[in-house]
Chains A and B, each alone.
Chain A
Amino acid sequence: GAVVSQHPSWVICKSGTSVKIECRSLDFQATTMFWYRQFPKQSLMLMATSNEGSKATYEQGVEKDKFLINHASLTLSTLTVTSAHPEDSSFYICSAPPPGLGTDTQYFGPGTRLTVL
């Protein structure tokens, strides 16, 4: 079945530094990928839609200059949290829809837990 991986699975960083999270579709090409954020004991919230070869589309209230998204190839999207602060500590999850099925069929990565000290 379709597999989506994320790297790293967890990261701890100091306040003010930047952190890059990778999302890869391992056995299919994805022109679109999605980035979600999940705070403790809360649901997943869509942050942005990553589009291969064009700019990402951000959801209302998500700072595009803080959460930089680059969809460099058909199998890789990266999320960079710039100048991270403790309030950015969260579980970041990406997903990708296999081609031909519409974007409502999504395969999710295992998530990246970010802790900002």
Chain B
Amino acid sequence: AQSVTQLDSHVSVSEGTPVLLRCNYSSSYSPSLFWYVQHPNKGLQLLLKYTSAATLVKGINGFEAEFKKSETSFHLTKPSAHMSDAAEYFCVVSDFPGTSYGKLTFGQGTILTVHP
């Protein structure tokens, strides 16, 4: 069985400072891992996706994440937070990646607050 644990339910940063959202995963297979962002009253948007290619994945809006198999982690980072980054972020794992019967398992979510 697969699972995802987001280590922080809330993260608060000042605008212009770095962002770190932590995620650990458990999977019996070689997983695909994702970060999604959910702004209030908007649909989930894919930030980035890891699929066993490069371990450092660059996404949209300056976000990136590093897959560390030895630590079973997939932490999301951004060098400099912007007010528009305030949202809820979900770490997601997929079993059977690339197949037609994979399912997504969502982490509990991390609410990012950005202070001026």
| Interface positions of A (Cβ within 8 A of B) | 4, 32, 34, 42-46, 49, 93, 95, 101-106, 108-111
Contacts and interface: CB of A to CB of B under 8 A. Distances in A.
A46 B101 CA distance: 13
A76 B102 CA distance: 20
Contacts of B98: 101-102, 104
A109 B43 contact: yes
B99 A103 contact: yes
Contacts of B107: 43
B63 interface: no
A24 B96 CA distance: 25
23 contacts: A32-B100, A34-B104, A43-B106, A43-B107, A44-B44, A46-B103, A49-B103, A93-B44, A95-B44, A95-B104, A102-B97, A103-B94, A103-B99, A103-B100, A103-B101, A103-B103, A104-B32, A104-B98, A104-B99, A108-B43, A108-B45, A110-B43, A111-B43
Interface of B: 32, 34, 36, 41-45, 49, 90, 94, 96-109
B40 to A, nearest CB: 11
A102 B43 contact: no
Contacts of A93: 43-44
Contacts of A43: 90, 106-109
Nearest to B9: A41
B99 A108 contact: no
A9 B24 CA distance: 33
Contacts of B45: 108
Contacts of A109: 43
Contact of A104 (B90, B97, B108): B97
Contacts of B100: 32, 102-103
